[in-house]
Structures are given as C-alpha cells and as structure tokens.
A and B are shown apart, each in its own frame.
Chain A
C-alpha cells in the first residue's frame, strides 16, 4: 500500500526567505508525485508533478520540488516566499503501474504554510 508523510503540520516563514515544505512517500515501484495547494474555502489547485526525468521539477507560482529516490522524498521549495503563498499544501503519490482499481492518488495530511510579513 502507498503512503505519504508530511511531517510538519505548520510551517512559518518570513516574507522573502526561502521556504521548504517536506514530503516523504512509500510506494511499490516508481512513484508519480504531485503537489497541490488549497487556499481558504477553495478546492485544491495543481502545482506540479514528477513522473520521470529530471529530479528538479518546476511548477506554478515559482514553486519547484526535488525528487530524491534514495531518501524517498519530494520536498516543495521556493527561493523567496510571498505573503500570498500562505495556504494549505498537500503532497500526493501514486505508483506508476496502472490497472483498473489503481487509478488513484494517496494524499498526505497537509502542511499549513504561513508567510509572515
């Protein structure tokens, strides 16, 4: 069975500083990895995904994530945080083998990111 861990419920970062939101995963075979963001009273918005290829993935709003197979991690990063980045962030994983009944993502419990002006 696949699983995702987001070890920090809350991350506070000063505006302008770099930010990291951590994610580790467990899955059979190679992973498909995703990051989503949720603003207050909204649905989830797709940020970026790793399928294969370059370990550094660039996504929306200046975010990027680094896939590290040996550490089974997929941390979300941004070089300079904005107040508008304050939101709830979810990491998700799926194995790369598709068959009926396996078309699904497993989500982490979320990390609330607060950017302090």
Chain B
C-alpha cells in the first residue's frame, strides 16, 4: 500500500512565524501535491511537483513556497504565517501517467492554526 506521511497532525503557530510542513511518500511517485482544505471550498491546489527540484504553482500559491530536494519528500513553507492561513493542509502523491492524471494518494493532513 502507498503510504504518505505528514510531519504533524496538529500545529499551532504565531503570526509572522516561518512554518515548515513536511510530506514523505514511500512509493517512488514522481508527482507530489500540496492542497489546503477549507469548509465550503473543498480542496484547493497550492503547489505541485512532477520531479525533484521542479515545481508548478497551483490555484492559490500566494504566501507559500515549496521545496523538493529528494523524490520522496515535498515541503510546504509559509514564509510569514498569517491568520488566513489557518487551515487543513493535505499532501498527496501519484505516479506520472502519460495522457492524464493517475490516482492521488493522500496523507492524513496537518491542521494548522495561526494565532
């Protein structure tokens, strides 16, 4: 089974802090994704990566950056956390499939609260 792990289930940070969210997958997947989930808004894509050191902006990249130095690890960085970044953050991974999107496998999520 695919396993996607996230470094924290719950995180509380203060406004202005730099926040790192880590995600690791163990299935040698090329693609990795960061989403945020908010009630009534569903999942919105922040960034994704299709290879080591490669990244693409998603639908809501403002205020976030990412890092992918190793294939299995994809980090989401909040450079200066703000209260409107309080949310559930979900990481996912998938195989690269020519011609379309393959099934994404999700981690358990990190519930971030910014005070």
Chain A residues near B (Cβ < 8 Å)? 9, 32, 34, 36, 41-46, 49, 51, 90, 94-98, 100-101, 103-105, 107-110
Contact = CB atoms under 8 A, between A and B. Distances in A.
Contacts, number: 67
Interface of B: 4, 31, 33, 35, 40-45, 48, 50, 56, 58, 90, 92, 94, 96-101, 103-109
Contacts of A41: 108-109
Given A103-B31, A105-B104, A97 B109 contact: no
A43 B108 contact: yes
B48 A103 contact: yes
Contacts of B101: 32, 94, 98, 103-105
Interface of A is mostly: loop
B100 A94 contact: yes
Contacts of A36: 106
A49 B96 contact: no
Contacts of B50: 100, 103
A36 B100 CA distance: 18
B32 to A, nearest CB: 10
Given A101-B56, A103-B96, A104-B58, A46 B42 contact: no
Nearest to B110: A43
A49 B40 contact: no
A69 B100 CA distance: 18
